[in-house]
Amino acid sequence: MQSKGMGRVLHLGCEKRAFGGIERRVQTACSCRQRGRRYIERMNTPPTSTSAFRSRSVERVVRGQPTSDGAGVKLTRVLTQPLQKRLDPFLMLDAFGSEAAADYIGGFPDHPHRGFETVTIMQEGRMRHRDSVGNVGLLGPGSVQWMTAGRGIIHSEMPEQEAGLMAGFQLWVNLAASDKMQPPAYRDIAPADVPRFVTPDGATVRVIAGHSQGVAGAVTRPTTEPIVLDLTLPSGASFDAELPPGHNAFAYVSAGAVEFGDASAPTRVDAERMAVLGNEAGAAGVRLVAPAGLAAPARVLLVAGRPLGEPIAQYGPFVMNTTSELQQAVSDFQRGVLAA
């Protein structure tokens, strides 16, 4: 997705080139057998007492802003620019979900990015991705694409369906100043390659990035060390997600409702709301409980990352540290060398 601010952008042509980015750097997910063994060990282990677990609390509940992007795709911008400092290193979270083809059929034609990473998480529907590095991929239900734009990439994200439900997320993760100009890279992750486990009381945890309860996610990234968990909690299920103390964290409830925080003072967050989680000293992470009586399991995207603490300068699809770096990005794009 491209974010507003660039006006109409032009396709600058594709160039195939070798890339040595994320695919070589990320830690590969553990094998199915190891995952299976971990799962069995977990299921055989009596639930440990959670009374000692101190949870972060909900600092603020945010309702997203309806907007459109690309060629008229309707979406909800949940993490907006005013929250970029508070939720550093995360720059944006868009939630999209519609059964009306008119809301998504235009897709996201060719547009550039520089200076950060985009993470596309599909829940329903199909999107075709193509980029200036020569990558082509089809995202289907449950699949994830992790793209490091680095110094520059031009790509398109177009629906590969003319009817039916299209739903999912796009998350933008900032890169440190020293990493912004690295070569672009990307990885398509099939649903079966996203490690998952089920807790004794029925919470399903898909570990897209980082670690959860000893399970390594599909993606591990340096510096920002993001944790991205896709959670499904049936009524009555709870889950304690450990989070590093310094990480900023938020959770988006896409279906049902969830109570966040210690049992003594939980905060209920309904569907289509984001909870900004506090950074309380001494909290081990966040406790989630799906309240009784939900018609369907709660769905939650839980995201945490180590803040970069650097200046953020954004112009549409370019996110750098200074205005002059943004001017350079625009100039490089106009001269056709952004993705060269």
Q: Which residues bind Co ion (CB under 5 A)?
A: 1
Nearer to Co ion, 1 or 237 (CB): 1
Structure tokens at 324: 């002059």
Nearer to Co ion, 13 or 36 (CB): 13
Positive or negative, the Cα torsion across 5, 254, 145, 162? negative
CB distance 178 to 223 below 8 Å: no
Residue type present at position 34: Q
Nearer to Co ion, 80 or 235 (CB): 80
| Residue 1 Cβ vs Co ion, minimum distance, rounded to whole Å | 5
The Cα–Cα gap between 256 and 237 comes to 13
Nearer to Co ion, 109 or 236 (CB): 109
| Residue 3 Cβ vs Co ion, minimum distance, rounded to whole Å | 8
Structure tokens at 144: 């994830």
Positive or negative, the Cα torsion across 232, 300, 312, 331? positive
Pick left, alpha or beta for residue 3 (phi over 0 → left; psi -120 to 50 → alpha; otherwise beta).
left
Nearer to Co ion, 69 or 240 (CB): 69
| Residue 218 Cβ vs Co ion, minimum distance, rounded to whole Å | 20
Give the C-alpha distances (Å, rounded to integers) separating 162 from 75, 128, 147, 213: 17, 13, 25, 40
Nearer to Co ion, 1 or 127 (CB): 1
Closest-CB residue for Co ion?
A: 1
Nearer to Co ion, 184 or 256 (CB): 184
CB distance 309 to 279 below 8 Å: no
| Residue 15 Cβ vs Co ion, minimum distance, rounded to whole Å | 18
| Residue 111 Cβ vs Co ion, minimum distance, rounded to whole Å | 6
| Residue 213 Cβ vs Co ion, minimum distance, rounded to whole Å | 32
Minimal CA–CA distance to 333: which of 34, 27, 11, 102?
A: 11
Reported residue count of the chain is: 340
The Cα–Cα gap between 338 and 187 comes to 20
| Residue 78 Cβ vs Co ion, minimum distance, rounded to whole Å | 17
